[in-house]
């Protein structure tokens, strides 16, 4: 597997085509994103959903958000997963690198795929994949402008959420000047920024208990270039937490001084999920691709089906070692 991390050369042309297509649709527009949705998956889909509703379109938004994002959608905006698409439907898939990663509805019929993962398989009749875009929410911001939907806080808030979370709250290397310009524009459209930032950082009591258990697993490898930690199902149970309560830990590992790769392992019933973060020219994406996953250069992930933690560690360490050698950090 490989990744095409080049910018999309026909970005505006394709986006205009997508906008014209959505303006012309008469049937329902079903909007979904990747499994284990993050702020960008939720923010980009919910923002587009609200914009299409405001245009008078029949839109269906399907997502099971993690707890920390559940304050954003209203009760009446939820729709159960679909076994089949309604007659004459258009399916919009956002932030999902492959049709297999998309959840909520079958990826069939007329599909519009908008994403920023270099490893995206370019599925769908219309696809716009630009790995140089910091968040799909940035692409949705452009799309909503082209749809000429008047901005309001209801639309701007989820879109800004996607930008905030995918840039690590304006800290990752993808935090370009344009990110700040777009964020400023969205705040001007009425987002209660400080309130949103505060609300996104809320964590339940069980999270703190789980943190104490997970911190006991932190380990350094390759002279500190790699930092790892893991969560087991029994730790989650002991803390009374949910698996999603460990989603932040890879970000914490990333702050280890001197490290260039951080890997967080989650034990699951059917295998192990790894979250990988990298910096200084090291590619988390290459490590993930070697493990059968995907993502972006600085942030990627993979699932290792059928393995337990004991078997997953050496496999992942070997993939990291190969990448550290490739960039010359190991002999």
Interface residues with ligand AMP (CB under 6 A) are 34, 38, 97, 101, 117, 275, 293-296, 299-303
Q: Which single residue brings its beta carbon nearest to Mn ion?
A: 40
Stretch that binds Mn ion, among 48-56, 162-170, 180-188, 208-216 (CB under 5 A): 162-170
Which partner from the list Mn ion, ligand AMP, none does 293 bind, CB cut-off 5 to 8 Å by kind? ligand AMP
- For residue 252, the minimal CB distance to ligand AMP (Å) is 13
95 vs 323, beta carbon nearer Mn ion: 95
Residue closer to Mn ion, measured from CB, 38 or 247 = 38
The Cα–Cα gap between 276 and 287 comes to: 8
Output 81 or 292, the one with its CB closest to ligand AMP: 292
Q: Please state, in angstroms and as integers, the Cα–Cα distance from residue 317 to each residue in 3, 229, 262, 310, following that order.
A: 21, 12, 11, 12
Q: How far is the CB of 274 from ligand AMP (least distance, A)?
A: 8
User: Is residue 84 helix, strand or coil?
Assistant: coil
Residues 90-119 that bind Mn ion (CB under 5 A): 95
Q: Which does 299 bind (CB under 5 to 8 A by kind): Mn ion, ligand AMP, none?
A: ligand AMP
Q: Which does 302 bind (CB under 5 to 8 A by kind): ligand AMP, Mn ion, none?
A: ligand AMP
- Distance of closest approach, residue 251 Cβ to ligand AMP, in angstroms: 9
Give the C-alpha separation, 197 to 271, whole Å: 33
Q: What values do phi and psi take at 2, rounded to 5?
A: -140, 180
Cα–Cα distance, 300 to 278 (Å, whole number): 9
CB of 192 to ligand AMP, least distance (A): 26
* List 41, 102, 191, 316, residue binding Mn ion (CB under 5 A): 41
Burial tier of 3 (Cβ tally within 10 Å: 0-12, 13-18, 19+): buried
Q: Which is nearer to ligand AMP, 25 or 218 (CB)?
A: 218
Min. distance of Cβ 153 from ligand AMP in angstroms? 27
Minimum distance from CB of 293 to ligand AMP (Å)? 4
Q: Are 109 and 126 in contact (CB under 8 A)?
A: no
Q: Which is nearer to ligand AMP, 145 or 243 (CB)?
A: 243
C-alpha closest to that of 250 among 230, 267, 269, 268? 230
Cβ neighbours of residue 230 closer than 8 Å, sequence gap 6 or more: 214, 217, 264, 265, 266, 267, 309
Q: Please enumerate in sequence order all residues whose Cβ is within 8 A of that of 241, keeping only pairs 6 or more positions apart, or say none.
A: 204, 206, 207, 209, 210
Q: Minimum CB separation from Mn ion for residue 116, in Å?
A: 6
Give Cα separations from 318 to 223, 226, 326 (angstroms).
15, 11, 12
Contact present, 281 and 329 (Cβ < 8 Å): no
Nearer to ligand AMP, 101 or 133 (CB): 101
Question: Which string of DSSP letters, residue by residue, matches 11-23?
Answer: HHHHHHHHHHHHH
Nearer to ligand AMP, 151 or 265 (CB): 265
Q: Which residues of this protein are in contact with Mn ion, per CB under 5 A?
A: 38, 40-41, 95, 136, 166
């Amino acid at each position: 597997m490989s990744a095409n991390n080049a910018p999309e050369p026909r970005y505006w042309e394709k986006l205009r085509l997508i906008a014209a297509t959505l303006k012309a649709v008469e049937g329902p527009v079903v909007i979904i994103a990747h499994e284990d949705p993050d702020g960008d998956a939720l923010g980009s889909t919910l923002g587009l959903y609200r914009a299409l509703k405001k245009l008078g379109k029949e839109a269906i938004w399907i997502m099971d958000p993690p707890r920390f994002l559940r304050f954003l959608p209203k009760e009446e905006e939820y729709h159960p997963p679909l076994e089949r698409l309604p007659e004459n439907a258009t399916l919009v898939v956002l932030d999902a690198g492959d049709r297999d990663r998309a959840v909520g509805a079958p990826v069939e019929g007329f599909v519009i795929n908008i994403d920023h993962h270099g490893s995206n398989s370019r599925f769908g009749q219309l696809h716009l994949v630009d790995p140089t875009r910091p968040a799909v929410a940035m692409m949705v911001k452009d799309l909503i402008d082209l749809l000429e939907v008047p901005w309001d806080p209801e639309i701007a808030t989820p879109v800004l959420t996607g930008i905030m979370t995918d840039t690590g709250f304006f800290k990752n290397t993808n935090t370009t000047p344009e990110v700040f310009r777009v964020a400023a524009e969205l705040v001007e459209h009425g987002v209660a920024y400080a309130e949103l930032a505060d609300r996104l950082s809320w964590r339940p009591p069980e999270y703190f208990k789980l943190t104490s258990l997970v911190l006991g697993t932190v380990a350094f490898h390759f002279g500190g270039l790699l930092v790892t930690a893991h969560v087991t199902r029994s730790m989650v149970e002991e803390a009374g937490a949910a698996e999603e309560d460990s989603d932040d830990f890879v970000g914490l590992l990333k702050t280890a001084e001197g490290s260039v790769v951080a890997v967080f392992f989650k034990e699951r019933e059917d295998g192990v999920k790894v979250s990988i973060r990298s910096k200084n020219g090291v590619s988390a994406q290459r490590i993930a691709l070697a493990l059968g996953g995907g993502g972006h250069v600085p942030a990627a992930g993979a699932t290792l089906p059928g393995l337990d933690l004991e078997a997953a560690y050496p496999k992942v360490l070997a993939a990291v070692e190969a990448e550290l050698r490739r960039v010359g950090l190991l002999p």
